[in-house]
Structure 1
Amino acid sequence: MPVDDADAGARRSSGDQSARTPQPSESINRFAFDSFGEGDIEREQVERVTPGIELERQAERTRSTHEREEVLPRLLDCSGVLQDACAAIVDDSFNRCFQEAVEEPWNFNFYLFPLWWLGWLIRHGILFPLRLAFILSASAAFTVSFFFSHYVTPREWGWERKCVELYAAAFVVSWTGVIRYHGPKPSRGGQRGGVVYVSNHTSMIDYLVLTQVSPFAVIQQKHRGWVGLLQRTAMNAIDCIEFNRTDIQDRHKVTERLKQHVADKSRLPLLIFPEGTCVNNKYCVMFKRGAFDLGVDVVPVAIKYNSLFVDAFWNSRRQSFSRHLCKLMSSWAVVADVWYMEPQRQREDETSIEFAERVRTMICKRAGLKAVPWDGMLKYYRPSPRECESRRKAFASTLMNGLK
């Protein structure tokens, strides 16, 4: 066989083997013409084969797309709880109301660190011992003077109220308090009952800041220790009202005592913190409507502390009030602004809840606080194990149904 014929036969043999091997669809036209030539398979037949393969592949892609579209909604249905959980973690506006301010470190180089260390020594080694000695001396003097005024002098003289007012001022001095008051302040001893003062609540020192100007009768949660001793003696002497947050029957008694207090014009004006709990110096939770159902004028009071010197927020779940006071006395100063606003009365076309929200808006706008739609009592709420278990079962059932 001539060389040319042999090469041609080899090419035909290799072409036959290539024809039996599956090739990609995009190269089938070129393969058919190169292997068999134009005379073996007509161009029209090849062109009819190629679209068929493409249509089959397109059908496969369409089927897989439909399957994904059927599975995706089921996965999204079972992920609703997860989406709610992620949204709660990302935008948790409730827990932010009770977070303490994080102190940014500024002693990060060699020449700032000695200044920071010197300031720490002055605050804790000099100022704190002097302030502690001062408040202990003031407490001893208050004990003697209050005992004398309570058991010796007539109640009409008002010495008990004056002792409470001076004792509150002593606490403010022990922090080197710089309190700036704005608006019409209540007169010392001239203001009487028939009016309710409401304020945002950052710490128990709010009462001390306001009482050093004029004494108030306040609604207070029962405490233990030396704070409870003051409540049962000095605070009760000026007609303060105690309550137990966990006792439902006690709440009804408090409501009746509130009405009796505001009806007696000879008593001190009533101070109420409608939030019901201490909130950090940035947010303001919902107001309880109890202070707005009494049918008397309500005076909004806004308090804003300057966190540049110290964080005045009292996190009662993490520290005692004594430790909180030590923190304040070991700072440079406690700087705050207090705004007394014009008395407000409930309108005829608004409910007590709308009245409370209107007053809260006024306080938030004046103090630069962010109003959030949360009840502060949720801070003390803990779900029961039975509720947690039922929630887990509901989530597992939704997840399994979505994956079927």
Structure 2
Amino acid sequence: MGGVAPAGPSLPNMEAFAERPDSVAVEQAFETVEAQRFKGPPANSDLLVDVLDISNVLTDGAAAMVDDSFMRCFTVRSSEAWNFNFYLLPIWCFGVLFRYLVLFPLRLLTAVVGNCLCILCVLLLKAVMRPSKFRKKIEMRLAQAMCWAFLMSWSAVVKFHGPTPVAAPNRIWVANHSSMIDYGILNSYRPFCVIMQLQGGWVRFIQTNVLSGLGCLWFNRNDIKDRQIVGQRMKEHVSQPDSIPLLIFPEGTCVNNEYTVLFKRGAFDMGCTVCPVAIKYNKIFVDAFWNSKRQSFGSYLVKIMTSWALVCDVWFLEPQNKRDNETADEFAARVQQMIAAKAGLKVVPWDGYLKYYNLGERNPGLIEKRRKGYGDRIKAHLDGSDAVGRSGSNLRRRVNADNK
């Protein structure tokens, strides 16, 4: 994210960009604001005022502070340094060797063997059995067993609070999101159908071959048509009485489990009962946040497997229905507040999509464009000698007044 819209010029009407993909909408809105920002000076403006005008600089500074508060939602907390001394250093070294030379190989073996067995069983099942309710039930148990294998490889200590989710028509579950392992933890307790970004590599293979048996819906967040199709399939899924419970992460991105960003309204305007789920990780051993922009999922799993344990609490909260005269956005905000209060998260108003939008990368000539705009503004004054003379006289008068 490279900045927010300046406060000086009037902001563009975002409804005009509502039907476009998010990236196009952001770029069009930015271009509109920049055009207003650097338009020519009024006919009666003063050269000195334009030269010394720092409103744009102040706007950029305010934008940078907003950027910092936004990126705080996606930063990994640094580990606290040990107070090393003669007695603690040998213990720390022994712990490192034990985690990397003993625990990690055993955990890696558990994950590889467990996943390979589950994948092999799923592929054989699809080859010898036709689609049926019985086959779907077996696929559901195999997907759950794969999640158990992952949790064993992390030495996961998960405590579930509240009643076990029960499938019912027109009912969905929504949860805060820190990593893809959120789904693994929930699916190990009760099989869920999930809506999630389609990943690459071996994760994609698991998504399309193992989790597809649960009816999971995959999408590309940068493709608005893809998201519209998923939205329609989501409505069809929840209307079926025998469907697997649907799990949605309305933030649309992974957050560091200290904040919760804006909930998308898609899950809250279908007229369904919404069941909030709060997930809170204890960071005493490892930070469970996955920054997908800086770390592959494989290296992320290695980080978890080389820690002592993964500690987590999950709360299944009271189902909520949309109130009379309550908009979908207000309903989403109310559910978000419930989750944040239970998990101890801070609610911020930022759209999580902006995490994937880098204005500097998409507009490499942005700084030069602003310099040119500023130069054109000053040049407009210099083109008229009357303006130059008037501004020069004003400048001399002000200097003489200051000297006196």
Which TM class, normalised by the smaller chain length?
0.7 to 0.9
What is the identity, as a one-letter code, of the residue corresponding to 1:103? S
2:133 to 149, 156, 159: 156
- Cα deviation, 1:154-208, whole Å, max 9, x if unaligned, reads 6312100011111111111111101111111215xxx244311100100000000
Show the counterpart of 1:316.
292
Counterpart contact for 1:182–1:338, Cα < 8 Å: yes
Kindly report which structure 2 residues correspond to 1:268-307, keeping only aligned pairs within 5 A, or say none: 268-307=244-283
Amino acid in the other structure paired with 2:58: Q
- How far apart, in 2, do the equivalents of 1:76 and 1:129 lie? 65
2:359 maps to 1:380? no
- Mark the CA change 1:245 to 1:129 in structure 2 (over 3 Å): closer, same or farther: same
CA distance in 2, matches of 1:397, 1:183: 64
Name the aligned partner's letter for residue 156 of structure 1. K
Structure 1 counterpart of 2:55, from 80, 95, 98: 80
Paired residue for 1:218? 194
Higher relative contact order by CA 8 Å / sep ≥ 6: 1 or 2?
A: 2
Shift of 1:77: 6.7
Amino acid at match of 2:149: A
Indicate the residue corresponding to 1:264 in structure 2: 240
Which amino acid in 2 is paired with 1:216?
A: F
> Is 1:185–2:190 an aligned residue pair?
no
Shift of 1:115: 1.4
The residue aligned with 1:118 is 94
Residues 77 and 366 (structure 1 numbering): CA distance in 2 closer, same or farther, change over 3 Å? farther
1:170-249 matches, within 5 Å, as: 170-187=149-166, 191-249=167-225
2:332 aligns with 356
Taking only aligned residues, the RMSD between alpha carbons, in angstroms, comes to 2.4
Q: SS at 2:133's partner residue?
A: helix
Deviation string, structure 1 residues 328-366 (Cα, Å, up to 9, x no partner): 111000001111001111112111111111111111111
Compared with structure 1, are the counterparts of its residues 74 and 360 closer, same or farther at alpha carbon in structure 2 (3 Å cutoff)?
same
Counterpart of 2:56, as a letter, is: V
Q: Normalized against structure 2, the TM-score is what? A: 0.76
Q: Secondary structure at the match of 1:242?
A: strand
Under a length normalisation based on structure 1, what TM-score does the superposition of the two structures give?
0.76
- What is the aligned partner in structure 1 of residue 311 from structure 2? 335
Q: Alpha carbons of 1:80 and 1:143: their partners in 2 closer, same or farther (altered >3 Å)?
A: same
Gaps spanning 5+ residues in structure 2: where? 1-45, 382-390, 396-404
- Cα pair 1:78 1:398 within 8 Å, conserved: no
SS of residue matched to 1:206? helix
What is the letter of the counterpart of residue 352 of structure 2?
G
> Secondary structure at 2:69's aligned position in 1?
coil
Quick check: 1:200–1:303 contact (8 Å CA) kept in 2? yes
Whole-angstrom distance in 1 between the partners of 2:62 and 2:164: 44
Q: Is the 8 A contact 1:298 1:344 kept in 2?
A: yes
- Asked whether the equivalents of residues 179 and 290 of structure 2 are also in contact (C-alpha less than 8 Å), the reply is yes
Find 2:104's aligned residue among 122, 128, 142.
128
Q: How many residues align?
A: 330
Equivalents in 1 of 2:367, 2:339: separation in Å? Answer: 37
Q: Is the 8 A contact 1:195 1:262 kept in 2?
A: yes
Work out which of the two has the higher radius of gyration on C-alpha atoms and give 1 or 2.
1
SS in 2 for 1:160: helix
* 1:220 counterpart SS class: strand
1:90 deviates by 4.7
Shift of 1:320: 0.6
Matched, 1:104 2:80: yes
The percentage of aligned residue pairs carrying the same residue is 46
Superposition deviation, residue 259 in structure 1: 0.9
The C-alpha deviation readout for 1:209-229, integer Å capped at 9, x for no partner, is: 100011111111111111001
CA contact (8 A) 1:107 1:116 kept: no
